[in-house]
Structure 1
Amino acid sequence: MTEVKFPSMVDMPDKEYFAHPAIDQTGLKKFMESPRAYAWHKLNPLDNSTLAFGKAAHSLILGSGPKVERKLDGRTKAGKAQAERAKSDDLVILSGSDYEKLQNMVDYVPDMNSLVEGKPEIALFAIDPATGLELKCKVDWMPDKPGMDGTMYLYDYKTTGHSVQDFVGSAYKFGYHIQA
Protein backbone atom coordinates (compact mmCIF):
# COMPACT_ATOMS: atom_id res chain seq x y z
CA MET A 1 0.00 0.00 0.00
CA THR A 2 1.39 3.39 -1.00
CA GLU A 3 1.34 6.14 1.59
CA VAL A 4 -0.19 9.44 0.47
CA LYS A 5 1.47 12.57 1.80
CA PHE A 6 -0.65 15.70 2.07
CA PRO A 7 1.75 18.50 1.17
CA SER A 8 -0.89 21.22 0.95
CA MET A 9 -2.94 22.39 3.95
CA VAL A 10 -5.43 25.22 3.41
CA ASP A 11 -8.00 26.99 5.56
CA MET A 12 -10.82 27.48 3.04
CA PRO A 13 -14.60 27.89 3.12
CA ASP A 14 -16.76 24.84 2.36
CA LYS A 15 -18.09 26.35 -0.87
CA GLU A 16 -14.56 26.70 -2.28
CA TYR A 17 -13.53 23.26 -0.99
CA PHE A 18 -16.53 21.47 -2.55
CA ALA A 19 -15.98 23.29 -5.86
CA HIS A 20 -12.36 22.06 -6.05
CA PRO A 21 -12.08 19.27 -8.68
CA ALA A 22 -9.97 16.86 -6.56
CA ILE A 23 -11.71 13.65 -5.48
CA ASP A 24 -12.80 13.24 -1.87
CA GLN A 25 -13.90 10.23 0.17
CA THR A 26 -17.54 10.61 -0.91
CA GLY A 27 -16.47 10.52 -4.54
CA LEU A 28 -14.26 7.48 -3.91
CA LYS A 29 -17.16 5.64 -2.25
CA LYS A 30 -19.40 6.46 -5.21
CA PHE A 31 -16.74 5.28 -7.66
CA MET A 32 -16.42 1.99 -5.73
CA GLU A 33 -20.18 1.60 -6.20
CA SER A 34 -19.75 2.15 -9.95
CA PRO A 35 -18.38 4.73 -12.39
CA ARG A 36 -22.00 5.58 -13.21
CA ALA A 37 -22.80 6.30 -9.52
CA TYR A 38 -19.72 8.56 -9.39
CA ALA A 39 -20.80 10.43 -12.53
CA TRP A 40 -24.32 10.89 -11.10
CA HIS A 41 -22.82 12.19 -7.84
CA LYS A 42 -20.66 14.73 -9.71
CA LEU A 43 -23.60 15.97 -11.79
CA ASN A 44 -26.12 15.96 -8.90
CA PRO A 45 -24.42 17.11 -5.68
CA LEU A 46 -26.29 16.65 -2.41
CA ASP A 47 -28.65 19.41 -1.41
CA ASN A 48 -27.25 21.35 1.55
CA SER A 49 -30.48 20.82 3.51
CA THR A 50 -29.70 17.08 3.55
CA LEU A 51 -26.54 17.79 5.49
CA ALA A 52 -27.85 20.73 7.56
CA PHE A 53 -27.72 19.07 10.99
CA GLY A 54 -24.16 17.81 10.58
CA LYS A 55 -23.03 21.14 9.16
CA ALA A 56 -24.65 22.98 12.09
CA ALA A 57 -23.08 20.57 14.60
CA HIS A 58 -19.63 21.07 13.11
CA SER A 59 -20.12 24.82 13.17
CA LEU A 60 -21.16 25.08 16.83
CA ILE A 61 -18.98 22.30 18.23
CA LEU A 62 -15.80 22.98 16.28
CA GLY A 63 -16.27 26.76 16.12
CA SER A 64 -15.92 27.13 12.36
CA GLY A 65 -18.72 27.54 9.89
CA PRO A 66 -22.06 29.20 9.37
CA LYS A 67 -24.36 30.74 11.95
CA VAL A 68 -27.05 28.36 13.23
CA GLU A 69 -30.62 29.47 14.00
CA ARG A 70 -33.90 27.88 15.04
CA LYS A 71 -36.42 28.01 12.19
CA LEU A 72 -38.90 30.85 12.44
CA ASP A 73 -42.45 30.74 11.12
CA GLY A 74 -42.07 31.18 7.35
CA ARG A 75 -45.35 33.08 7.15
CA THR A 76 -43.98 35.97 9.20
CA LYS A 77 -41.81 38.83 7.98
CA ALA A 78 -38.94 37.63 10.21
CA GLY A 79 -39.34 34.05 8.93
CA LYS A 80 -39.26 35.17 5.31
CA ALA A 81 -36.16 37.26 5.96
CA GLN A 82 -34.50 34.28 7.68
CA ALA A 83 -35.29 32.03 4.69
CA GLU A 84 -33.75 34.61 2.35
CA ARG A 85 -30.58 34.83 4.49
CA ALA A 86 -30.32 31.01 4.48
CA LYS A 87 -29.81 31.01 0.70
CA SER A 88 -26.20 31.97 1.38
CA ASP A 89 -23.70 29.58 2.96
CA ASP A 90 -23.56 31.72 6.09
CA LEU A 91 -26.69 30.38 7.83
CA VAL A 92 -28.12 26.96 8.67
CA ILE A 93 -31.71 26.83 9.85
CA LEU A 94 -32.86 23.89 11.97
CA SER A 95 -36.30 22.79 13.13
CA GLY A 96 -37.07 23.47 16.78
CA SER A 97 -36.44 19.84 17.81
CA ASP A 98 -33.15 19.62 15.87
CA TYR A 99 -32.02 22.95 17.29
CA GLU A 100 -32.71 21.72 20.86
CA LYS A 101 -30.93 18.42 20.16
CA LEU A 102 -27.92 20.31 18.84
CA GLN A 103 -27.83 22.66 21.83
CA ASN A 104 -27.78 19.59 24.13
CA MET A 105 -24.86 18.18 22.12
CA VAL A 106 -22.98 21.48 22.36
CA ASP A 107 -23.48 21.54 26.13
CA TYR A 108 -22.14 17.97 26.43
CA VAL A 109 -19.03 18.18 24.24
CA PRO A 110 -15.86 19.80 25.63
CA ASP A 111 -14.13 22.62 23.77
CA MET A 112 -11.73 21.03 21.27
CA ASN A 113 -8.90 23.42 22.15
CA SER A 114 -9.13 22.23 25.77
CA LEU A 115 -8.46 18.67 24.52
CA VAL A 116 -5.76 19.44 21.95
CA GLU A 117 -4.70 22.79 20.54
CA GLY A 118 -5.40 23.10 16.84
CA LYS A 119 -7.59 24.51 14.09
CA PRO A 120 -10.99 23.47 12.76
CA GLU A 121 -11.91 22.48 9.20
CA ILE A 122 -8.53 22.39 7.45
CA ALA A 123 -8.47 21.22 3.81
CA LEU A 124 -5.69 18.88 2.70
CA PHE A 125 -4.68 18.20 -0.91
CA ALA A 126 -2.31 15.61 -2.38
CA ILE A 127 -1.56 13.52 -5.45
CA ASP A 128 -1.89 9.75 -4.96
CA PRO A 129 1.46 8.37 -6.14
CA ALA A 130 -0.08 5.05 -7.24
CA THR A 131 -2.89 6.45 -9.41
CA GLY A 132 -2.01 10.10 -10.01
CA LEU A 133 -5.45 11.11 -8.69
CA GLU A 134 -5.66 14.49 -7.02
CA LEU A 135 -7.14 13.88 -3.57
CA LYS A 136 -8.75 16.18 -1.05
CA CYS A 137 -10.13 15.93 2.44
CA LYS A 138 -11.26 18.33 5.10
CA VAL A 139 -10.05 17.51 8.59
CA ASP A 140 -12.52 18.49 11.29
CA TRP A 141 -9.75 19.27 13.78
CA MET A 142 -6.08 19.61 12.82
CA PRO A 143 -3.76 19.60 15.87
CA ASP A 144 -1.01 22.18 15.98
CA LYS A 145 1.56 19.47 16.69
CA PRO A 146 1.89 15.68 16.94
CA GLY A 147 0.87 13.81 20.09
CA MET A 148 3.32 12.70 22.78
CA ASP A 149 4.13 9.58 20.74
CA GLY A 150 5.08 11.69 17.69
CA THR A 151 1.97 10.73 15.71
CA MET A 152 -0.21 13.41 14.13
CA TYR A 153 -3.77 12.40 15.03
CA LEU A 154 -6.50 13.97 12.91
CA TYR A 155 -9.90 14.38 14.56
CA ASP A 156 -13.20 13.72 12.82
CA TYR A 157 -16.50 14.64 14.46
CA LYS A 158 -19.47 12.45 13.50
CA THR A 159 -23.22 12.94 13.83
CA THR A 160 -24.79 9.61 12.88
CA GLY A 161 -28.24 9.77 14.42
CA HIS A 162 -27.54 6.39 16.01
CA SER A 163 -26.82 5.41 19.60
CA VAL A 164 -23.29 4.77 20.83
CA GLN A 165 -24.06 1.03 20.79
CA ASP A 166 -24.94 1.25 17.08
CA PHE A 167 -21.85 3.24 16.11
CA VAL A 168 -20.02 0.26 14.60
CA GLY A 169 -22.95 -0.31 12.25
CA SER A 170 -23.04 3.39 11.41
CA ALA A 171 -19.30 3.40 10.72
CA TYR A 172 -19.77 0.56 8.25
CA LYS A 173 -22.97 1.97 6.70
CA PHE A 174 -21.46 5.41 6.11
CA GLY A 175 -18.05 4.12 4.99
CA TYR A 176 -15.94 5.72 7.74
CA HIS A 177 -13.23 3.12 7.09
CA ILE A 178 -12.89 4.48 3.55
CA GLN A 179 -12.67 8.03 4.85
CA ALA A 180 -9.82 7.01 7.13
Structure 2
Amino acid sequence: MSGWPPEDGATLVEAMPEEEYHAHPALSASGMKQLLRSPLHYQQSRAVRVEKPAFDVGHAAHSLVLGVGKEPVEIPENLLTTRADGVVVIASAKAKEWRDNAYAEGKVPLKPKTYAEVIGMRDAILANPKARALLELPRMTEVSLFALDPETGVPLRGRLDILAGAKCGDVKTTSDVRTFKLRSVIYEYGYDVQGEVYRLLTQLVLGVDPEPVELIFVEKAAPYEVRVVRLGEGWQVGGYARMRTAIDIFQSCIEFDVWPGDDYEDGPVEEIEPPAYYLSDVDRLTGAGVL
Protein backbone atom coordinates (compact mmCIF):
# COMPACT_ATOMS: atom_id res chain seq x y z
CA MET A 1 0.00 0.00 0.00
CA SER A 2 1.51 3.32 -1.03
CA GLY A 3 2.27 5.77 1.76
CA TRP A 4 2.63 3.06 4.41
CA PRO A 5 3.43 3.56 7.17
CA PRO A 6 2.05 7.06 7.75
CA GLU A 7 3.94 9.28 10.19
CA ASP A 8 1.63 8.42 13.09
CA GLY A 9 1.61 4.74 12.13
CA ALA A 10 -2.18 4.51 11.92
CA THR A 11 -4.57 4.64 9.00
CA LEU A 12 -8.00 3.49 7.83
CA VAL A 13 -8.64 2.30 4.28
CA GLU A 14 -12.12 1.77 2.85
CA ALA A 15 -12.79 -0.45 -0.16
CA MET A 16 -9.27 -1.91 -0.16
CA PRO A 17 -9.14 -4.85 -2.59
CA GLU A 18 -9.11 -8.12 -0.67
CA GLU A 19 -6.05 -9.44 -2.51
CA GLU A 20 -4.10 -6.26 -1.71
CA TYR A 21 -5.08 -6.47 1.95
CA HIS A 22 -3.99 -10.11 2.32
CA ALA A 23 -0.70 -9.42 0.52
CA HIS A 24 0.20 -6.64 2.96
CA PRO A 25 3.20 -7.56 5.18
CA ALA A 26 1.70 -6.20 8.42
CA LEU A 27 0.80 -8.84 11.03
CA SER A 28 -2.89 -9.84 11.16
CA ALA A 29 -4.96 -11.90 13.58
CA SER A 30 -4.83 -14.82 11.12
CA GLY A 31 -1.05 -14.58 11.14
CA MET A 32 -1.05 -14.50 14.94
CA LYS A 33 -3.05 -17.72 15.02
CA GLN A 34 -0.42 -19.37 12.82
CA LEU A 35 2.41 -17.99 14.98
CA LEU A 36 0.78 -19.43 18.10
CA ARG A 37 0.84 -22.82 16.37
CA SER A 38 4.44 -22.32 15.22
CA PRO A 39 6.47 -19.69 13.35
CA LEU A 40 7.09 -22.36 10.71
CA HIS A 41 3.37 -22.51 9.96
CA TYR A 42 3.20 -18.73 9.78
CA GLN A 43 6.07 -18.58 7.30
CA GLN A 44 4.38 -21.19 5.10
CA SER A 45 1.04 -19.37 5.20
CA ARG A 46 2.72 -16.17 3.99
CA ALA A 47 4.66 -17.95 1.26
CA VAL A 48 1.62 -19.76 -0.16
CA ARG A 49 -1.84 -18.32 0.44
CA VAL A 50 -4.38 -21.08 -0.08
CA GLU A 51 -7.93 -20.18 -1.11
CA LYS A 52 -10.08 -23.21 -0.31
CA PRO A 53 -13.45 -23.79 -2.01
CA ALA A 54 -14.87 -24.04 1.51
CA PHE A 55 -14.16 -20.32 1.89
CA ASP A 56 -16.61 -19.56 -0.93
CA VAL A 57 -19.65 -19.96 1.33
CA GLY A 58 -18.23 -17.47 3.82
CA HIS A 59 -17.34 -14.98 1.08
CA ALA A 60 -20.81 -15.29 -0.45
CA ALA A 61 -22.62 -14.89 2.88
CA HIS A 62 -20.56 -11.80 3.69
CA SER A 63 -21.39 -10.27 0.32
CA LEU A 64 -25.14 -10.82 0.66
CA VAL A 65 -25.34 -9.69 4.29
CA LEU A 66 -22.95 -6.74 4.18
CA GLY A 67 -23.54 -5.61 0.61
CA VAL A 68 -19.85 -5.62 -0.28
CA GLY A 69 -17.28 -8.17 -1.38
CA LYS A 70 -17.37 -10.98 -3.90
CA GLU A 71 -20.81 -11.36 -5.45
CA PRO A 72 -22.18 -14.93 -5.42
CA VAL A 73 -23.46 -16.26 -8.74
CA GLU A 74 -25.40 -19.48 -9.35
CA ILE A 75 -23.84 -21.98 -11.76
CA PRO A 76 -26.46 -22.94 -14.37
CA GLU A 77 -27.87 -26.34 -13.49
CA ASN A 78 -27.60 -27.58 -17.08
CA LEU A 79 -23.80 -27.28 -16.88
CA LEU A 80 -23.52 -29.53 -13.84
CA THR A 81 -23.18 -33.31 -13.69
CA THR A 82 -24.91 -35.62 -11.22
CA ARG A 83 -22.83 -38.67 -10.30
CA ALA A 84 -24.25 -42.12 -9.67
CA ASP A 85 -24.14 -41.46 -5.92
CA GLY A 86 -26.28 -38.34 -6.38
CA VAL A 87 -23.50 -35.82 -5.78
CA VAL A 88 -23.60 -32.82 -8.13
CA VAL A 89 -20.16 -31.96 -9.51
CA ILE A 90 -18.47 -29.53 -11.90
CA ALA A 91 -17.18 -32.04 -14.41
CA SER A 92 -17.69 -30.80 -17.98
CA ALA A 93 -15.31 -28.45 -19.73
CA LYS A 94 -18.11 -25.90 -20.11
CA ALA A 95 -18.89 -26.00 -16.40
CA LYS A 96 -15.25 -25.55 -15.45
CA GLU A 97 -14.89 -22.67 -17.92
CA TRP A 98 -18.00 -20.98 -16.51
CA ARG A 99 -16.66 -21.38 -12.96
CA ASP A 100 -13.19 -20.11 -13.84
CA ASN A 101 -14.60 -17.07 -15.65
CA ALA A 102 -16.70 -16.22 -12.60
CA TYR A 103 -13.63 -16.40 -10.36
CA ALA A 104 -11.70 -14.23 -12.83
CA GLU A 105 -14.44 -11.60 -12.60
CA GLY A 106 -14.10 -11.53 -8.80
CA LYS A 107 -17.32 -13.44 -8.20
CA VAL A 108 -18.10 -16.58 -6.18
CA PRO A 109 -19.60 -19.36 -8.34
CA LEU A 110 -21.88 -21.67 -6.35
CA LYS A 111 -23.85 -24.77 -7.18
CA PRO A 112 -27.64 -24.21 -6.99
CA LYS A 113 -28.01 -26.01 -3.64
CA THR A 114 -25.18 -24.00 -2.07
CA TYR A 115 -26.49 -20.76 -3.55
CA ALA A 116 -29.92 -21.45 -1.99
CA GLU A 117 -28.21 -22.13 1.35
CA VAL A 118 -26.37 -18.81 1.23
CA ILE A 119 -29.67 -17.02 0.52
CA GLY A 120 -31.13 -18.84 3.52
CA MET A 121 -28.26 -17.67 5.72
CA ARG A 122 -28.71 -14.07 4.60
CA ASP A 123 -32.45 -14.13 5.23
CA ALA A 124 -31.99 -15.68 8.67
CA ILE A 125 -29.44 -13.05 9.71
CA LEU A 126 -31.60 -10.18 8.50
CA ALA A 127 -34.60 -11.63 10.37
CA ASN A 128 -32.71 -11.82 13.66
CA PRO A 129 -33.39 -8.70 15.80
CA LYS A 130 -29.95 -8.65 17.46
CA ALA A 131 -28.10 -9.12 14.18
CA ARG A 132 -30.26 -6.53 12.44
CA ALA A 133 -29.63 -4.01 15.23
CA LEU A 134 -25.89 -4.33 14.65
CA LEU A 135 -26.17 -4.22 10.87
CA GLU A 136 -28.46 -1.17 10.90
CA LEU A 137 -26.03 1.00 12.84
CA PRO A 138 -24.36 3.85 10.90
CA ARG A 139 -21.24 1.94 9.95
CA MET A 140 -18.34 1.28 7.65
CA THR A 141 -18.13 -2.17 6.08
CA GLU A 142 -15.13 -4.33 5.18
CA VAL A 143 -12.81 -1.59 6.41
CA SER A 144 -9.05 -2.16 6.74
CA LEU A 145 -7.17 -0.70 9.70
CA PHE A 146 -3.38 -0.39 9.98
CA ALA A 147 -1.27 0.76 12.92
CA LEU A 148 2.05 0.19 14.66
CA ASP A 149 1.93 -1.77 17.90
CA PRO A 150 2.86 0.81 20.56
CA GLU A 151 4.88 -1.69 22.62
CA THR A 152 7.03 -3.23 19.88
CA GLY A 153 6.61 -1.13 16.74
CA VAL A 154 5.38 -4.22 14.85
CA PRO A 155 2.99 -3.17 12.03
CA LEU A 156 -0.49 -4.58 12.54
CA ARG A 157 -3.54 -4.88 10.30
CA GLY A 158 -7.16 -5.92 10.60
CA ARG A 159 -10.15 -6.09 8.25
CA LEU A 160 -13.45 -5.54 10.03
CA ASP A 161 -16.83 -6.56 8.66
CA ILE A 162 -18.54 -3.85 10.72
CA LEU A 163 -17.05 -0.72 12.27
CA ALA A 164 -19.55 1.58 13.95
CA GLY A 165 -17.62 4.09 16.03
CA ALA A 166 -16.32 2.18 19.05
CA LYS A 167 -18.22 -0.98 18.09
CA CYS A 168 -16.70 -3.75 15.99
CA GLY A 169 -18.56 -6.73 14.56
CA ASP A 170 -18.05 -9.72 12.30
CA VAL A 171 -20.25 -12.23 10.49
CA LYS A 172 -19.21 -15.88 10.92
CA THR A 173 -20.57 -19.04 9.34
CA THR A 174 -20.51 -22.24 11.40
CA SER A 175 -22.16 -25.62 11.73
CA ASP A 176 -23.78 -25.22 15.15
CA VAL A 177 -24.63 -22.02 17.07
CA ARG A 178 -25.35 -23.62 20.42
CA THR A 179 -23.39 -21.69 23.05
CA PHE A 180 -21.20 -24.58 24.19
CA LYS A 181 -20.21 -25.23 20.57
CA LEU A 182 -19.37 -21.57 19.96
CA ARG A 183 -17.00 -21.51 22.91
CA SER A 184 -14.88 -24.13 21.15
CA VAL A 185 -15.17 -22.36 17.79
CA ILE A 186 -14.06 -19.01 19.23
CA TYR A 187 -10.94 -20.60 20.72
CA GLU A 188 -10.14 -22.92 17.79
CA TYR A 189 -10.39 -20.20 15.14
CA GLY A 190 -8.76 -17.51 17.26
CA TYR A 191 -11.74 -15.17 17.28
CA ASP A 192 -10.63 -14.02 20.75
CA VAL A 193 -7.30 -12.90 19.28
CA GLN A 194 -9.04 -11.34 16.30
CA GLY A 195 -11.34 -9.43 18.64
CA GLU A 196 -8.44 -7.93 20.57
CA VAL A 197 -6.63 -6.99 17.36
CA TYR A 198 -9.79 -5.19 16.25
CA ARG A 199 -10.09 -3.42 19.60
CA LEU A 200 -6.44 -2.37 19.64
CA LEU A 201 -6.55 -1.09 16.06
CA THR A 202 -9.79 0.79 16.70
CA GLN A 203 -8.18 2.47 19.68
CA LEU A 204 -4.99 3.34 17.79
CA VAL A 205 -6.62 4.49 14.56
CA LEU A 206 -9.81 6.15 15.82
CA GLY A 207 -8.70 7.14 19.32
CA VAL A 208 -11.82 5.64 20.92
CA ASP A 209 -12.33 3.30 23.87
CA PRO A 210 -13.46 0.14 22.04
CA GLU A 211 -16.52 -1.82 23.11
CA PRO A 212 -16.54 -5.63 23.31
CA VAL A 213 -16.57 -7.21 19.85
CA GLU A 214 -19.89 -8.70 18.68
CA LEU A 215 -20.02 -11.75 16.43
CA ILE A 216 -22.99 -12.79 14.30
CA PHE A 217 -22.89 -16.57 13.91
CA VAL A 218 -25.14 -18.30 11.37
CA GLU A 219 -25.46 -22.00 10.65
CA LYS A 220 -24.57 -23.09 7.11
CA ALA A 221 -27.52 -25.47 6.75
CA ALA A 222 -31.27 -25.19 7.33
CA PRO A 223 -32.82 -23.91 9.49
CA TYR A 224 -29.89 -21.41 9.45
CA GLU A 225 -30.13 -20.62 13.14
CA VAL A 226 -28.45 -17.37 14.20
CA ARG A 227 -26.80 -16.39 17.47
CA VAL A 228 -25.20 -13.01 18.23
CA VAL A 229 -22.56 -13.06 20.98
CA ARG A 230 -20.37 -10.49 22.68
CA LEU A 231 -16.79 -11.35 23.63
CA GLY A 232 -16.73 -10.41 27.29
CA GLU A 233 -13.96 -9.86 29.80
CA GLY A 234 -12.69 -13.44 29.92
CA TRP A 235 -12.23 -13.58 26.14
CA GLN A 236 -10.71 -10.10 26.16
CA VAL A 237 -8.10 -10.98 28.79
CA GLY A 238 -7.25 -14.28 27.10
CA GLY A 239 -7.30 -12.85 23.59
CA TYR A 240 -5.07 -9.96 24.61
CA ALA A 241 -2.54 -12.32 26.24
CA ARG A 242 -2.47 -14.53 23.15
CA MET A 243 -2.19 -11.49 20.87
CA ARG A 244 0.77 -10.12 22.83
CA THR A 245 2.48 -13.53 22.80
CA ALA A 246 2.09 -13.78 19.02
CA ILE A 247 3.44 -10.25 18.49
CA ASP A 248 6.50 -11.04 20.65
CA ILE A 249 7.11 -14.27 18.72
CA PHE A 250 6.84 -12.36 15.44
CA GLN A 251 9.27 -9.67 16.59
CA SER A 252 11.81 -12.28 17.71
CA CYS A 253 11.55 -14.25 14.46
CA ILE A 254 12.01 -11.08 12.41
CA GLU A 255 15.01 -10.03 14.50
CA PHE A 256 16.86 -13.35 14.20
CA ASP A 257 15.33 -14.47 10.87
CA VAL A 258 14.57 -17.87 12.36
CA TRP A 259 11.10 -19.44 11.95
CA PRO A 260 11.12 -22.68 13.96
CA GLY A 261 8.53 -25.39 14.35
CA ASP A 262 6.90 -26.04 17.70
CA ASP A 263 9.29 -28.87 18.70
CA TYR A 264 12.73 -27.61 17.72
CA GLU A 265 14.81 -27.34 20.89
CA ASP A 266 17.43 -29.89 21.95
CA GLY A 267 16.55 -32.00 24.97
CA PRO A 268 14.70 -35.14 25.95
CA VAL A 269 11.80 -36.48 23.94
CA GLU A 270 8.52 -35.15 25.28
CA GLU A 271 6.40 -37.59 27.22
CA ILE A 272 2.82 -37.01 26.18
CA GLU A 273 0.10 -37.46 28.79
CA PRO A 274 -3.49 -38.49 28.03
CA PRO A 275 -6.27 -35.92 28.39
CA ALA A 276 -8.62 -35.85 31.36
CA TYR A 277 -11.53 -37.40 29.45
CA TYR A 278 -9.35 -40.39 28.53
CA LEU A 279 -8.32 -40.96 32.16
CA SER A 280 -11.96 -40.62 33.22
CA ASP A 281 -12.98 -43.27 30.69
CA VAL A 282 -10.22 -45.62 31.87
CA ASP A 283 -11.39 -45.15 35.47
CA ARG A 284 -14.93 -45.99 34.37
CA LEU A 285 -13.83 -49.14 32.58
CA THR A 286 -11.58 -50.19 35.45
CA GLY A 287 -14.37 -49.69 37.93
CA ALA A 288 -16.66 -51.83 35.80
CA GLY A 289 -14.10 -54.63 35.87
CA VAL A 290 -13.25 -54.38 32.15
CA LEU A 291 -9.54 -53.83 32.79
Q: TM-score, normalised by structure 1?
A: 0.83
Task: Give CA-to-partner distance per residue, 1:122-175, whole Å, 9 cap, x none.
Answer: 0000000112111100010122xx3xxxxx011111112223332122111111
Q: Indicate whether 1:22 and 2:26 are aligned.
A: yes
1:63 to 1:97, Cα distance in 2 relative to 1, 3 A: same
For 1:158, the equivalent position in structure 2 comes to 172
Shift of 1:96: 2.7
Task: Give CA-to-partner distance per residue, 1:98-140, whole Å, 9 cap, x none.
Answer: 2121111111222678620112100000000112111100010
Name the count of aligned residue pairs.
168
Q: Matches of 1:164 and 1:103 in 2, distance apart? A: 21
Residue among 146, 157, 168 paired with 1:136: 157
CA contact (8 A) 2:103 2:109 kept: no
Residue among 117, 124, 143 paired with 2:145: 124
Q: Indicate whether 1:7 and 2:10 are aligned.
A: yes
Which residue type is aligned with residue 169 of structure 1? Answer: S
Q: Matches of 1:17 and 1:89 in 2, distance apart? A: 18
Q: Matches of 1:172 and 1:10 in 2, distance apart? A: 28
Shift of 1:6: 7.8
1:108 to 1:33, Cα distance in 2 relative to 1, 3 A: same
CA contact (8 A) 1:66 1:89 kept: no
- Secondary structure of 2:170's counterpart equals coil
Shift of 1:71: 2.8
1:131 to 1:114, Cα distance in 2 relative to 1, 3 A: closer
Q: Which has the higher contact order (CA 8 A, sep 6+)?
A: 1
Unaligned residue ranges in structure 1 (runs of 5+): 147-151
Q: Matches of 2:140 and 2:66 in 1, distance apart? A: 9
The percentage of aligned residue pairs carrying the same residue is: 29
Shift of 1:56: 0.8
1:89 to 1:36, Cα distance in 2 relative to 1, 3 A: farther
Shift of 1:82: 2.3
CA contact (8 A) 1:15 1:89 kept: no
1:136 to 1:114, Cα distance in 2 relative to 1, 3 A: closer
- Secondary structure of 2:103's counterpart equals coil
Unaligned residue ranges in structure 2 (runs of 5+): 1-7, 81-89, 127-131, 196-291
1:87 to 1:114, Cα distance in 2 relative to 1, 3 A: closer
For 1:149, the equivalent position in structure 2 comes to none
Q: Matches of 1:120 and 1:24 in 2, distance apart? A: 18
What root-mean-square deviation, in Å, do the aligned CA atoms of Structure 1 and Structure 2 show?
2.2
Q: Matches of 1:53 and 1:67 in 2, distance apart? A: 11
Task: Give CA-to-partner distance per residue, 1:67-116, whole Å, 9 cap, x none.
Answer: 20123325374x34522323326110123332121111111222678620
Q: TM-score, normalised by structure 2?
A: 0.53
Q: Runs in 1 of length 4+ with deviation above 3 angstroms?
A: 111-114
CA contact (8 A) 2:161 2:170 kept: yes
1:112 to 1:64, Cα distance in 2 relative to 1, 3 A: farther
Q: Matches of 1:131 and 1:167 in 2, distance apart? A: 32
